[in-house]
Amino acid sequence: MAAGDEPLDLVGAESAKISLSRLLLVILIGFFLFHINLGLEVNIGKLPTIKVVNGSDVILPCTFSSCKDYKGASFWWKFQKNKTSSAQTIIYIKLKGKKPFITPESDSRVTFIGNIKSKNISLLLTNVDFDDTGFYTCFFKNPEEKGQEANATLQLIVVSELLPVDNTLTILILSIVGGVIGLLILIFIIKKIVMFIIKQVGKKKKECLVNSCANTEHGHYGSKADLKSPPKA
């Protein structure tokens, strides 16, 4: 029985080694891909949605970052009317070395206003109309990073007029916070004044007590020497 079990143990150990090797390989590949994705990034700013009045101009912001050199990189913008419609390229930028070559694809109202050296690939869209409402995606592809690609999407909404923002709640909150802070400051000042007065009163009482004790010891003002009758002649 013991002799028969030995081959099975060897097979189990070999399988464990293979499984461990595969696990390490998967971890290394995952770490490599994670590192690449961290190095390549596209950012459209803090506002994923931009509202603009019909007939005005709007800037579509986009910046990129890369841990490696980006010579020979490609940048482009695409437009989708909605999430299910086909995407249309509206501008394409190709770097030859670090010199950009810009190809407007469709709309002459689109102007590249970014600066590749500053890692800015923003666009200016002039004289917008309601048909410009949709999703604008900014792309960045870098051959220096294994041809990895990154993108970010913002939504543009064209309206007839911008409704005024109701700041009543904000003003109310700020007023309450300001009132509470003012009250705390007032309480702090009153406390300081009261402590100062108490300190001064205590100091004066202490001085009076000291003077009273000193006068008593020297026989002044109601001391026992004053109470003695004058000596007889």
Q: Which fold has domain 39-159?
A: Immunoglobulin-like (2.60.40)
CA distance 51 to 96: 35
Interacting residues of 34 by C-beta distance below 8 A, sequence separation 6+: none
Tens digits of residue pLDDT in 6-33 = 454 555 555 555 666 666 665 555 444 4
Handedness of CA 73, 117, 67, 104 (dihedral sign): negative
- Rounded-to-integer distance, Cα 60 and Cα 75, Å: 14
Looking at the DSSP bridge assignments, the partners of residue 135 are 80, 155
Q: What pLDDT, on a 0 to 100 scale, did the predictor assign at position 35?
A: 45
Chain segment 118-169, per-residue pLDDT in tens: 999 999 999 999 999 999 999 999 998 888 899 999 999 999 987 666 677 7
Q: Which two tokens stand for residue 157?
A: 């909404």
CA distance 113 to 116: 10
Contact 137, 77 (CB under 8 A): yes
Tokens of 64: 């990129």
Q: Where are the domains of the chain?
A: 39-159, 165-209
Instruction: Give me the chain's average pLDDT, please.
Output: 80
DSSP label at residue 162: P
| Phi, psi angles (nearest 5°) of residue 68 | -115, 175
Contact 73, 137 (CB under 8 A): no
Q: Which regions of 105-147 does DSSP assign to beta strands (E)?
A: 110-112, 123-125, 134-142
**Which has more pLDDT, 119 or 233?**
119
Report d(CA 110, CA 103) in Å as an integer: 11
- Of 13, 73, 88, 77, give the one whose Cα is nearest residue 44: 77
